[in-house]
């Protein structure tokens, strides 16, 4: 019984150590998103990016909401750093899977930051938009 209790304690200690170190490890080893040029994006993405830079108006009521980065595919930042915008998908009546995520960058504004990411698979992968 004592051996089982000791073994259980050691296992929990190892698990707790790994979990506590996971966020730092994930940040250090987070792969950089690939890049995509504006010319390589669908026309609808270029239109959405132009709307972001103008400050709207946006066609979907959820455009401009905080992107929480739950999937941790982008660099961890303070809540509110990233905002998301819908890229229309022809033939879809709903928002579809395509988005542009805008960071606040050095300017503090998604409209002028120059930090934009495109996803066409609902946050599974991101590519940084190179203008």
Q: Give the 3-state secondary structure of 65-126.
A: EECCCCCCCCCCCCCCCCEEEECCCCCCCCCCCCEEEECCCCCCCCCCCCCEEEECCCCCCC
Domain shared by 62 and 90, yes or no: yes
15-28 pLDDT per residue, tens: 444 444 444 334 44
Domain shared by 20 and 38, yes or no: no
60-83 pLDDT per residue, tens: 999 999 999 998 999 999 999 999
Residue 65, strand partner residues: 84
What residues make up the domain containing 110? 34-130
pLDDT at residue 32, rounded to an integer:
61
What does pTM read for this prediction? Answer: 0.75
Strands of the 116-119 sheet, one edge to the other: 34-37, 127-130, 116-119, 99-102, 83-86, 65-66
**In this model, does residue 112 exceed pLDDT 60?**
yes
pLDDT at residue 30, rounded to an integer:
53
25-52 pLDDT per residue, tens: 344 445 567 999 999 999 999 999 999 9
Question: How far is Cα 15 from Cα 31, in angstroms, rounded to an integer?
Answer: 24
Average pLDDT of the residues in 5-22: 45
Residues designated catalytic? 84, 122
| Average pLDDT of the chain to the nearest whole number | 83
**Maximum alpha-carbon separation in the chain:** 68
**In this model, does residue 104 exceed pLDDT 80?**
yes
- Rg (C-alpha) for the chain, rounded Å, is 20
Average pLDDT of the residues in 93-109: 95
Domain count across the chain: 2
Domain shared by 23 and 78, yes or no: no
- Percent pLDDT > 90 in the chain is 71
CATH number, position 73? 3.10.450.30
């Amino acid at each position: 019984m004592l051996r089982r209790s000791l073994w259980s304690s050691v296992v929990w200690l190892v698990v707790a150590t790994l979990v506590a170190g996971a966020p730092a490890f994930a940040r250090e080893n987070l792969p950089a998103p690939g890049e995509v040029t504006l010319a390589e994006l669908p026309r609808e993405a270029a239109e959405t990016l132009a709307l972001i830079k103008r400050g709207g108006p946006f066609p979907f009521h959820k455009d401009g909401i905080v992107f929480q980065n739950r999937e941790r595919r982008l660099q961890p930042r303070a809540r509110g750093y990233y905002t998301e915008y819908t890229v229309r998908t022809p033939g879809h009546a709903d928002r579809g899977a395509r988005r542009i995520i805008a960071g606040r960058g050095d300017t503090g504004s998604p409209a002028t930051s120059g930090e934009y990411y495109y996803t066409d698979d609902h946050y599974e992968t991101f590519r940084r938009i190179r203008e």
